[in-house]
Each structure stands twice: as C-alpha cells, then as structure tokens.
C-alpha cells in the first residue's frame, strides 16, 4: 500500500461499509469486537491513503504525522461477496 494501491479506494470504503452492516448480525461479542476493530483499522488505512494522495505526501510519512503506525509488511485484504461464498462452500 505505501506507494501503490491496487483497486479503487472509494469503492473499498463502500465495501467496508457493507461489511460493517454484515457484522451487525454477529452474536458473539468477542468476535463482533474483533471484526469491528479490523474494519475500523481497514477504514483508517484507506482514508489515510486517500488523504495522503490529496496532500501529495508519502503514505508512510502521512501515517507517522497522524500518529498512526504503519509497517510496510501490512496488507489490507477486502473480499468480495463471491470470494466469501467460495470460502464458505470450499472450506
């Protein structure tokens, strides 16, 4: 993610919102909290990417300036509904 973003960040924010709606149905409080935290972290990464591009500032530098850590090894994976269905049926 630091200097390349595969996909469309605006669309990814919409996917994160969709996932937020789906996690509302999770009954286990521990799992719901975990999923909510993961979605918030993903949302923050995408929003920071958008803001860093708008400011023409290196993504890693932007994260540091905002007091948010970033590791170049970090990855953000957003799955489509089709992939989730495939995982459910195959595994």
Total domains in the chain come to 1
Please name the residue ranges forming H helices in 1-91. Answer: 9-23, 29-54, 59-65, 81-90
What is the domain extent for residue 53? 9-90
Interval 54-67: pLDDT, tens: 999 888 888 888 88
Residue 4 lies in a domain: no
In a domain, 54, yes or no: yes
1 in a structural domain: no
Find all residues with CB under 8 Å of 22, minimum gap 6, and list them.
none
Establish if 72 belongs to a structural domain: yes
Residue 2 forms part of a structural domain: no
Return the pLDDT at 85: 46
pLDDT recorded at residue 86: 43
Is the residue at 24 inside a domain?
yes
The confidence score (pLDDT) of residue 62 equals 83
pLDDT at 16: 93
Report phi then psi at 66, rounded to 5: -85, 0
Q: Is residue 43 assigned to a domain? A: yes
- pTM for the model stands at 0.71
CB-based contact 16:39 (threshold 8 Å): yes
Low-confidence ranges of the chain (pLDDT < 50): 1-2, 78, 80, 82-91
Could you tell me if residue 3 is inside a domain? Answer: no
Taking alpha carbons only, the member of 84, 78, 86 closest to residue 15 is 78
- Residues 45, 51, 54, 60, CA torsion sign: negative
Whole-number pLDDT of residue 43 = 92
Look at residue 19 in the predicted model and tell me its pLDDT. Answer: 92
């Amino acid at each position: 993610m630091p200097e390349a973003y595969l996909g469309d960040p605006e669309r990814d924010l919409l996917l994160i919102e969709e996932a937020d709606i789906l996690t509302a149905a999770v009954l286990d409080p521990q799992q719901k909290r975990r999923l909510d935290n993961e979605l918030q972290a993903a949302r923050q990464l995408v929003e920071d990417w958008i803001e860093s591009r708008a400011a023409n500032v290196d993504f890693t530098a932007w994260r540091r300036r905002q007091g948010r850590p970033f590791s170049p090894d970090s990855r953000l994976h957003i799955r489509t509904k089709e992939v989730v269905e495939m995982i459910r049926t195959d595994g």
